[in-house]
Chains A and B, each alone.
Chain A
Amino acid sequence: MARREAPEINAGSMADIAFLLLIFFLVTTTMDVDKGISRKLPPIIEDEQEKPPPIKEKNVFVVLLNSQDGLFVEDDYMDIEDLREAAKEFIDNFGKNPLSSDNPNKAVISLQNDRGTSYEMFIAVQNELTAAYNELRDEEAMRIHGVLYSELSKDDKKEIQKKYPMKISEAEPVSLGG
């Protein structure tokens, strides 16, 4: 008896199966990507004796956000567009201006907000301050290695991080009102 050829499997329902899977994935998943601004919170200091050493006032860049989302930098009103430049100038001062920071290692940015500040404004300010540091790091990387900071090797990155450590302090909660 001659061997019969195996009949071809009908693939007409393949599309239906694939659609079913597709719809399942569409429903159960989200496009949400995990991107954000990373920060490290300071541990709570319980011992009075372990107080951190005092920092000279000129090395602190005070950024205030009031409940109306008003931005005050070193006691002056400022637009958010100017914050990045102001922060860069402060960090990269190297003692040029006697009222500004001594060097990037000593410079600290203190960000204080009111309970009524909106989260969006807070993130915008955080973003600008981070951008100031990132731009300075980029410039330094360009000067030394001729490439952007993000393209450096791990060791080179560390070196530049040491030169421009990101010191943004989110102060203890206070009520600023206004």
Chain B
Amino acid sequence: MSRFKRKGKGGTPAISTASLPDIVFMLLFFFMVTTTMREVTLLVKNTKPFATEIQKLERKSLVAYLYAGSPKKRLQGQYGGQPKLQLNDSFADVTQIAQWVETEKEAINEAERPLMTVSIKADRDTKMGLITDIKQELRKAQALKINYSVRPGEIFSDQK
């Protein structure tokens, strides 16, 4: 019976890679949709605490971010280990907040300036002393809407 005779040489045939671009494109779109552009280079540690009662920040363009925490390991030799405030791409003193708020407000459409929200992204090991100072400066600068940035999850959920 020669009907079932194998044609050509034996061995496994090459796997078709024709659908590879499709798979990669799918991954690409997934990441494009779920992630956001990095806005600043983080100079501080930023492990945010957990909370359950969270609200989503609606309008990205109305949000200004400030970061607080101890400097990253590689920067500790230069800046020390004490928690610091980061504005834009550099460390800053709390007294610079008023100036920073002004600049951020300038970037927002005039009618919407009162809606500006300051998102405080602080590391969970930061002491409240620094946060309180930041809050006082924000009050002085008339930036009263704030948002404590957290990760969704039960409180202390990675320590129990």
| Max chain A C-beta neighbours (<10 A), residue from B119, B146, B155, B156 | B155
By beta carbon, the residue of chain A nearest B126 is: A119
Question: Given the known A-B contacts A35-B149, A119-B131, are A173 and B136 also in contact in the complex, defined by CB atoms under 8 Å?
Answer: yes
Q: Which residues of A contact B147 (CB under 8 A)?
A: 34, 36-39
Q: Which residues of B contact A113 (CB under 8 A)?
A: 128, 132
**CB of B51 within 8 Å of the partner chain:** yes
B125 touches A119 (CB 8 A): yes
A31 touches B60 (CB 8 A): no
Q: Which of A29, A36, A127 contacts B35 (CB 8 A)?
A: A29
Give the contact-size bracket for chain A.
35 or more
**CB of A128 within 8 Å of the partner chain:** yes
Q: Which parts of A105-125 form the interface with B (CB within 8 Å)?
A: 113-120, 122-124
- Which of these binds chain B: A11-19, A94-102, A156-164? A11-19
Question: Given the known A-B contacts A35-B56, A131-B53, are A28 and B128 also in contact in the complex, defined by CB atoms under 8 Å?
Answer: no
**CB of B139 within 8 Å of the partner chain:** yes
Q: Which of B27, B35, B136 contacts A30 (CB 8 A)?
A: B35
Q: Which residues of B contact A28 (CB under 8 A)?
A: 37-38
Give A30 to B128 CA distance when docked, in angstroms: 27
**CB of A21 within 8 Å of the partner chain:** yes
**CB of A140 within 8 Å of the partner chain:** no
Apart from A29-B38, A31-B35, A44-B140, what are 6 other A-B pairs with CB-CB below 8 Å? A34-B147, A35-B54, A41-B138, A80-B155, A119-B127, A120-B125
